[in-house]
Chain A
């Protein structure tokens, strides 16, 4: 079965991203497909490549990145929500004339249409939020 996961809260502040990550791992282990992971609202903050969590804690962004690499996950950050919150990839930083970018390369920036399309293409769309 194909799942699209919608993550609406940032890392650490809420458990939503952790729950979604554990769900994704379990779904893949059972032979399901994660069609897309879409990050929206403060969920876009999961894509920061600059977070430095304490060494004895989990690194949420790197965990997602590793899972994505291993299973070729499509992790999409909503561009409108990201821009509002100062989350930019290199291309976007250049286009907007900003002097830095902070999105981890495991994630890609795209529009909200990717969420709706995920809902259309997947058997289930599951929201993780606050």
Chain B
């Protein structure tokens, strides 16, 4: 089982998403929560980086945090999957361990 990584900070302000992307292994899963969901939007300066990451890693976003900030599934990059809290719990259970990039 691969590892689950959570990231909770906007990549436009903090470096934790970048750290996670460079220090996570191929086949691992990254879940964007809280302000990190803003990094999933289309047309941003990090869109290409995320699209490249998606070729080797699974990227998810917590839907309620997206909605909270005024966005929906339609606003995010193709290939990023949306989960609710129940799906968040499933991701934690399905992966061998979890690391929160703070």
Question: For residue A1, which residue of chain B has the nearest CB?
Answer: B93
**Residues in B86-102 with C-beta less than 8 Å from chain A:** 86, 88-90, 92-93, 97-98, 100, 102
Determine chain A's interface SS by DSSP, over half rule: mixed
Assess the B97–A25 pair: CB atoms within 8 A: no
Report the minimum CB–CB distance from B84 to chain A (whole Å).
8
Residue B12 at the chain A interface, CB threshold 8 Å:
no
Measured in the bound complex, the distance between the Cα atoms of B93 and A30 in whole Å is 11
CA distance A84 to B64 in the complex (A): 35
Contact between B85 and A128, CB atoms less than 8 A apart = no
Encoded as 1 (CB less than 8 Å from any A CB) or 0, chain B from 28 to 72 comes to 000001110000000000000000000000000000110000000
For the residues of B in contact with A, the DSSP-based class is helix
Tell me the smallest distance from the CB of B47 to a CB of chain A, in Å.
24
List of B residues within 8 angstroms of A57 by Cβ: none
Is the beta-carbon distance between B102 and A126 smaller than 8 angstroms?
no
| Known pairs A26-B85, A26-B88, A30-B86; A124 contacts B93 (CB<8 A) | yes
Interface residue tally on A, bucketed by range: 20 to 34
Q: Which of A14-22, A46-54, A106-114 contacts B (4 or more CB under 8 A)?
A: A14-22
A130 within 8 A of B: yes
Q: Which of A81-130 contact B (CB under 8 A)?
A: 123-130
Smallest CB separation, A57 vs chain B (Å): 14
Contact yes or no, B102 A124, CB < 8 A: no
Which of the residues B9, B33, B85, B97 comes within 8 Å of A124, measured between beta carbons? B97
Chain A: which residue is nearest B68 at the CB level?
A15
Which residue on B lies nearest to A128, using beta carbons?
Answer: B100
Nearest Cβ distance between residue B42 and chain A, in whole angstroms?
23
Residues on A close to B: CB < 8 A?
A: 1, 3, 8, 15-16, 19, 22-23, 25-27, 29-30, 32, 123-130
A-B contact pairs, 9 of them (CB 8 A): A1-B93, A19-B34, A22-B85, A26-B86, A32-B93, A126-B92, A129-B8, A129-B100, A129-B102
